């Protein structure tokens, strides 16, 4: 697929997805005036953040119910030279992903939220390297397309399975689309050269580079509970992820990105996915009120 064709396919799919979500948030009432707050993005990410640690310790003084995954993925060895791109069904899913370098959680939270809305959406940016009759259930290489700072398509980057199977994948024997996107993003000159604070990574290299659309940050303290619930409910029709405060009351992990994968209307509970726990182990449930208390920013595409 050429760059123009990829842009056209992506635009059509994005338009369909976004149209479903443009009216919901307008029905909710804000706790304050319509004026948007001024955001100060200061990093709380320090050298003490351990990339090999998936779960933070629970600090004293927190409620006895610290919310988060109860286990961490242990990825099997990938001994193959080729593998399915996204499972047997070729459908990208959060369970395929793992931020084995926990400081890259912003990337995998974005990928998970993207695939949650529509598994076919990330496939728009993935093309087979050689001829079109290559089997997506057994690929050794793939072309990955991302977007630049001006939201224009970058030239496709050829990514080889042998190079990326060790990072970003819950089980690289079954799916490696996460590792492919990771390689494409971190290979850009902009990623290597720009110094970006951790709480701003989602804007520079998350939704923007992957989807080619402007993401917006929202401060939960600026919204009443009804408006907050409405934003979380968007996760079924438009990608949504959250960034937790450095010090949290309910979440066991602070200074972390999570993907919002479901909002249950009757119980008003949210299913989050933790990239650092990875795979199926990353899913956990938290109440809307608890999440609102512990989130510094909610990131979503422009509605």
Model confidence over 92-106: pLDDT tens digits?
Answer: 999 999 999 999 999
N residues, the chain: 303
pLDDT band per the 50, 70, 90 thresholds, residue 37: very low
**Stretch 86-90: mean pLDDT, rounded?**
94
Residue 49 in this model has a pLDDT that exceeds 60: no
What does residue 182 show for φ and ψ, rounded to 5 degrees?
-55, -45
Query: pTM (2 decimals)?
Result: 0.79
Residue 14 in this model has a pLDDT that exceeds 70: no
Per the CB < 8 A criterion, the answer to whether 261 and 278 are in contact is no
Per the CB < 8 A criterion, the answer to whether 110 and 239 are in contact is yes
Sorted by sequence, the CB contacts under 8 Å of residue 261 that are 6+ apart come out as 94, 112, 113, 116, 235, 271, 272, 273, 283
121 membership: H or E segment, kind and range: helix 120-123
Report the alpha-carbon distance of residue 197 to residue 159 in Å, rounded: 27
- 137-151 pLDDT per residue, tens: 999 999 999 998 899
Report the alpha-carbon distance of residue 7 to residue 27 in Å, rounded: 32
Secondary structure letter of residue 280 according to DSSP? G
The domain in which residue 224 lies consists of 3-9+18-40+49-301
Report the alpha-carbon distance of residue 107 to residue 99 in Å, rounded: 8
Report the alpha-carbon distance of residue 132 to residue 115 in Å, rounded: 23
**What is the predicted pLDDT for the residue at 15?**
53
Per the CB < 8 A criterion, the answer to whether 143 and 133 are in contact is no
Q: Give me the torsion for CA of 197, 73, 65, 114, rounded to 10°.
A: 50
Sorted by sequence, the CB contacts under 8 Å of residue 179 that are 6+ apart come out as 159, 164, 165, 166, 167, 168, 169, 172
Residue identified by tokens 């996915």 is 273
Report the alpha-carbon distance of residue 52 to residue 71 in Å, rounded: 14
Share of the chain above pLDDT 70, in %: 75
pLDDT band per the 50, 70, 90 thresholds, residue 202: confident
CA 140 to chain centre: 25
**CB neighbourhood size of 39 (10 A):** 12
Give the residue from 287, 288, 302 showing the smallest Cα distance to 223: 288
What's the domain count of the chain?
A: 1
């Amino acid at each position: 697929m050429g760059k123009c064709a990829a842009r056209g396919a992506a635009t059509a799919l994005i338009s369909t997805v976004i149209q479903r979500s443009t009216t919901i948030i307008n029905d909710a009432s804000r706790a304050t005036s319509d004026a948007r707050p001024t955001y100060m993005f200061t990093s709380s990410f320090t050298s003490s953040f351990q990339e090999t640690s998936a779960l933070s310790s629970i600090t004293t003084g927190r409620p006895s119910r610290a919310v988060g995954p109860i286990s961490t993925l242990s990825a099997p060895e990938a001994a193959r030279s080729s593998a399915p791109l996204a499972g047997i069904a070729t459908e990208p899913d959060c369970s395929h992903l793992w931020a084995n370098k926990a400081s890259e959680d912003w990337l995998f939270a974005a990928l998970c939220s993207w695939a949650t809305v529509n598994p076919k959406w990330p496939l728009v940016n993935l093309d087979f390297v050689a001829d079109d009759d290559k089997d997506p259930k057994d690929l050794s290489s793939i072309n990955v397309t991302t977007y630049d700072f001006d939201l224009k398509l970058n030239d496709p980057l050829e990514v080889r399975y042998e190079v990326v199977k060790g990072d970003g994948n819950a089980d690289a024997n079954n799916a490696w689309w996460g590792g492919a996107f990771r390689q494409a993003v971190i290979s850009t000159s902009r990623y290597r050269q720009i110094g970006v604070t951790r709480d701003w990574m989602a804007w520079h290299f998350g939704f923007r580079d992957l989807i080619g659309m402007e993401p917006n940050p929202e401060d939960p303290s600026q919204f009443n509970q009804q408006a907050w619930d409405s934003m979380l409910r968007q996760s079924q029709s438009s990608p949504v992820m959250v960034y937790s405060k450095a010090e949290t009351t309910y979440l066991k992990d602070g200074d972390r990105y999570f993907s919002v994968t479901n909002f249950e209307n009757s119980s008003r509970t949210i299913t989050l996915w933790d990239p650092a726990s990875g795979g199926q182990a990353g899913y956990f449930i938290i109440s809307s009120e608890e999440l609102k208390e512990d989130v510094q920013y909610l990131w979503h595409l422009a509605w």
